[in-house]
Copies of this chain bind each other. A is one copy, B any other.
Amino acid sequence: MNYKNFPMVPRVIFGRGCFNQLGEILSPKRLNVKAPFIFLVDDVFKGKSWLSSRIPLSYDDKIMYVSAKEEPKTSQVDELVEHIILTTSDRPSGIIGIGGGTILDLAKAISIMLTNEGETSDYQGWDLVKNKAIYHVGIPTISGTGAEVSRTTVLTGPILKLGINSDFTPFDQVVLDPELTRDVPKTQWFYTGMDCYIHCIESLNGTYLNTFSQTYGEKAFDLCKEIFVDNKLSLKDTQDKLMMASWHGGMSIAYSQVGVAHAMSYGLSFLLGTKHGIGNCIVFNQLEEFYPEGVKLFIQMKESHNIELPEGICADLSDNEFDIMINVALSMEPLWENAIGKDWRKTITKEKLKSLYQKM
C-alpha cells in the first residue's frame, strides 16, 4: 500500500470582507516592479465596481476579464499564456483567479503553463507537470466546485476532458470571502452547490474512501443538508456555510475520487459544452440505481428550490455522438473504479451508458 502525500493549500484566509486584505497578502510576493500580478476575473464582474474597484493594482498589474460561459479549454489556456508572455516584460509575480470553478481552473493552469514548456494538453493526466507553477491565488465568487482546494484543474482538450492533476496545481493562497457570492443567480447557486453535494455522495459511497476523506465528506454533506434541505439559515449563514461545504467537499476528494455523475457529466460537457454544475445535476438525476439515497435527497432539494432541469438534451444525438460521449466517460477509469470497484467493466458497458444518456 502506498498513500498519497497530499499537498494542502498552505495559506487560507476566511472572513466576510477579507477580500480587502488582498493587497497586503500579495505585496510581499511581488518579485519586482516589472513582474506584474495578473488578475483573471470572471467577466460578469466587468463594471461591477463593488468588486472590481477593490482589486489592488500597482505598477504593471493587469486585470484580464474572461468569460466563464463555456467550460475551460486547453486551447484557451495556451492563448491566455501566450497573451501574458507577449504583454508583460517580466514573468508575472502571480496569477490571481477571481471567479467560479472555470476561472479558478484557468488560473491554476496558466500558472503551470508559464513555467512548463509545450502545450497545456500535454499535461492532462496524473503527475505530468515538471516545474513548480508561479505563485497563484484562488478567490471563489461562487461556492461548490472545490476548485479552490483541489490538486486538479479540469480542462477540455482536443481528445478528452481531463484534469491536470499534480502537486503543483493547488493554489499557494486561497481567499474565502463569502460576501463575494452575493450576486450569484439562484439556479447557478443551486447547480454549483450540487457539485459539492454530488462530490460528497460520490466520495462517501466510493471504494477509495478512507477516514481522512470520510470525515471531510461527512461534514460537507451535513452542511449541504443544512443549506439545501433544512432551509432555516439566514442569507449570511447560507453564504458562509456553502463556502465551507465547498472547501470540505474538495478536501474529501484528497484520498477519494468522484464517481458516476462526474464521469458521465464529462461526456456531456465534451460533446455538448454542458457546464459542469448543471451537467452533474442532469446526470445525477438519473443515477438512482447507483446512489439511491443520494438521488432521493437530490430530488427533494430540487423540488424544494423549484429547480427545473433541462430535459431531452440527448434526444437528437446520432450514434456517433453518443459514442463520443461514452468514450469520454469510459476513459475516466479511476472514477469508475472508485464508484463500482475493480470489476467495473463487467457492468459499465457502452450499452449501459447509452441507455442512461438517452434518459437525459
Measuring CB to CB, which residues of chain A are less than 8 angstroms from any residue of chain B? 1-15, 17-18, 21, 25, 173, 176, 178, 210-212, 215-216, 218-219, 222-223, 237, 240-241, 243-245, 248, 255
A241's closest neighbor in chain B, by CB? B211
B3 touches A11 (CB 8 A): no
Identify A223's interface contact among B8, B9, B215, CB under 8 A.
Answer: B215
Set of chain B residues within 8 Å of A223, measured between Cβ atoms:
215
Identify A21's interface contact among B5, B12, B13, B215, CB under 8 A.
Answer: B5
A11-B6, A13-B4 known; A215 vs B211 contact (CB < 8 Å): no
Instruction: List 7 A-B residue pairs with CB atoms under 8 Å apart, sorted by A's residue number.
Output: A2-B21, A3-B13, A3-B21, A5-B21, A14-B210, A211-B244, A215-B241
A255–chain B nearest beta-carbon distance, Å: 7
B6 touches A12 (CB 8 A): yes
A212-B244, A240-B211 known; A14 vs B21 contact (CB < 8 Å): no
Set of chain B residues within 8 Å of A11, measured between Cβ atoms:
5-8
A179–chain B nearest beta-carbon distance, Å: 11
A266–chain B nearest beta-carbon distance, Å: 27
Kindly state the separation between the CA atoms of A5 and B18 in the bound complex, as whole angstroms. 9
A116–chain B nearest beta-carbon distance, Å: 19
A13 touches B6 (CB 8 A): yes
A212-B244, A244-B212 known; A13 vs B17 contact (CB < 8 Å): no
Kindly state the separation between the CA atoms of A327 and B237 in the bound complex, as whole angstroms. 39
A210 touches B6 (CB 8 A): no
A8 touches B5 (CB 8 A): no
Set of chain B residues within 8 Å of A240, measured between Cβ atoms:
210-211
Kindly state the separation between the CA atoms of A291 and B216 in the bound complex, as whole angstroms. 27
Kindly state the separation between the CA atoms of A219 and B252 in the bound complex, as whole angstroms. 13
